[in-house]
């Protein structure tokens, strides 16, 4: 039952951990992990996790509702109102976070920028993830020549500089949400393929997969019904991390002028443009888009680290036990260490 693959050895995945635990108790396990209520209760007890969660939910809601809640259009303004200060620097409520060098409302630009970032992030994760997972499943399950060719493709593409590719493509098709999405997806699917292949290689050797094959399941059914569900935990964790990376990558591309182009709004583009136009005295033009970008990426990372712990039943059990055994010994008053 030992997994030959280094990857799964680390990510002792769900049921393997359950299995170990059973060996420990010698008793069947009533699938507590499947009850998602417990998962949410865990999140609440993790302060950083819940803060990140609330921040992201607010951001997503604000981005979705941007056309209705933004004070002004992000691309219309009055030059006479340029460089208005935020409210807390003596500005007016008309432009709560101030305006930029063209008199555009900064809050509106931040909201629409969030829209761009999140849309690109989600689209890229879905596109790159789907493609990468399919390639990984194919390579891992088929093995042999298919595996060598597909992984060779992955290696070649990983060794090709992504920025160069981006410059080339943007020069050809021009920068837009669509082109940036496609470029980032082309650059980002390999990591899914590699990880998927690694997990498939070890899951494929597990007896229940052989059992499915013995029953006469066709390859497609074996892969999607029996192997893929075992990938959910590592894939979700990877996708969340990739989402954060994509948001940063989009901002970086846009900052360099290789991504989103005016008049579409992007945090990266705003930071670059603010730098071009009168930095001194108007730092908020850089600080607020930058802050929002950093907070978003930080929140996603914190949430993913919570997710990683929460999805590992052994780790959850350990956390639970350290709490429970503490309370019990305290309540018993047996002179134990207590908490």
- Positions that interact with other proteins (CB under 8 A): 1, 14-15, 18-19, 21-32, 38, 206-208, 210-218, 221, 226, 229, 316-318, 320-322, 324-325, 328-329, 332, 334
Instruction: Report the candidate in 115, 31, 127 with the shortest Cα–Cα distance to residue 70.
Output: 115
CB of residue 196 to other proteins, shortest distance in Å: 18
CB of residue 128 to other proteins, shortest distance in Å: 26
**3-state class (DSSP) for residue 99:** strand
The 3-state secondary structure of 67-117 reads: HHHCCCCCCCCCHHHCCCCCHHHCCCCCCCCCECCCCCEHHHHHHHHHHHH
CA neighbours within 13 Å on the CB side: how many for 46?
25
CB contact at 8 A, 123 and 179: no
Nearer to other proteins, 90 or 333 (CB): 333
Nearer to other proteins, 25 or 159 (CB): 25
CB of residue 336 to other proteins, shortest distance in Å: 8
Nearer to other proteins, 30 or 276 (CB): 30
For residue 267, what are the contacts with CB-CB under 8 A and spacing of at least 6? 110, 113, 114, 116, 117, 251, 254, 289, 290, 292, 293
CB of residue 39 to other proteins, shortest distance in Å: 11
For residue 194, what are the contacts with CB-CB under 8 A and spacing of at least 6? 136, 151, 154
CB of residue 8 to other proteins, shortest distance in Å: 13
**Torsion sign over Cα 277, 279, 280, 286:** positive
Q: Which two tokens stand for residue 141?
A: 């399950």
Instruction: Report the candidate in 237, 238, 269, 258 with the shortest Cα–Cα distance to residue 117.
Output: 269
Nearer to other proteins, 66 or 133 (CB): 133
CB of residue 314 to other proteins, shortest distance in Å: 9
Nearer to other proteins, 17 or 258 (CB): 17
Nearer to other proteins, 43 or 82 (CB): 43
The C-alpha angle with vertex 72 and arms to 81 and 75, in degrees rounded to 5, equals: 75
Nearer to other proteins, 5 or 100 (CB): 5
CB of residue 45 to other proteins, shortest distance in Å: 13
């Amino acid at each position: 039952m030992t997994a030959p693959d280094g990857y799964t050895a680390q990510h002792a995945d769900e049921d393997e951990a359950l299995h170990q635990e059973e060996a420990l108790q010698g008793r069947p396990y009533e699938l507590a992990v499947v009850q998602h209520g417990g998962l949410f209760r865990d999140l609440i007890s993790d302060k950083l996790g819940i803060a990140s969660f609330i921040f992201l939910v607010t951001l997503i809601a604000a981005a979705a509702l941007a056309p209705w809640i933004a004070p002004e259009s992000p691309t219309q303004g009055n030059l006479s109102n340029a460089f208005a200060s935020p409210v807390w620097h003596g500005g007016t409520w008309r432009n709560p976070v101030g305006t930029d060098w063209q008199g555009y409302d900064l809050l509106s630009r931040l909201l629409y920028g969030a829209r761009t970032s999140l849309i690109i992030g989600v689209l890229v994760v879905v596109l790159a993830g789907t493609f990468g997972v399919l390639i990984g499943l194919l390579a891992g399950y088929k093995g042999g020549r298919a595996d060598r060719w597909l992984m060779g493709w992955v290696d070649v593409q990983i060794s090709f500089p992504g920025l160069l590719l981006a410059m080339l493509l943007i020069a050809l098709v021009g920068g837009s949400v669509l082109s940036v999405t496609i470029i980032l997806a082309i650059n980002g699917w390999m990591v899914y393929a590699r990880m998927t292949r690694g997990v498939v290689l070890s899951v494929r050797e597990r007896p229940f997969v052989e059992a499915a094959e013995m029953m006469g399941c066709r390859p497609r059914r074996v892969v999607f019904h029996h192997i893929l569900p075992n990938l959910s935990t590592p894939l979700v964790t990877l996708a969340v991390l990739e989402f954060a990376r994509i948001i940063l990558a989009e901002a970086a591309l846009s900052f360099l002028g290789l991504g989103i182009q005016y008049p579409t709004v992007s945090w990266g583009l705003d930071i670059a443009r603010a730098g071009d136009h009168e930095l001194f005295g108007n730092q908020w033009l850089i600080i607020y888009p930058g802050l929002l970008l950093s907070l978003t990426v930080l929140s996603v990372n914190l949430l993913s680290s919570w997710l990683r712990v929460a999805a590992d039943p052994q780790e959850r059990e350990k956390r639970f036990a350290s709490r429970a055994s503490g309370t019990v010994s305290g309540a018993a008053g047996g002179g134990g260490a207590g908490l």
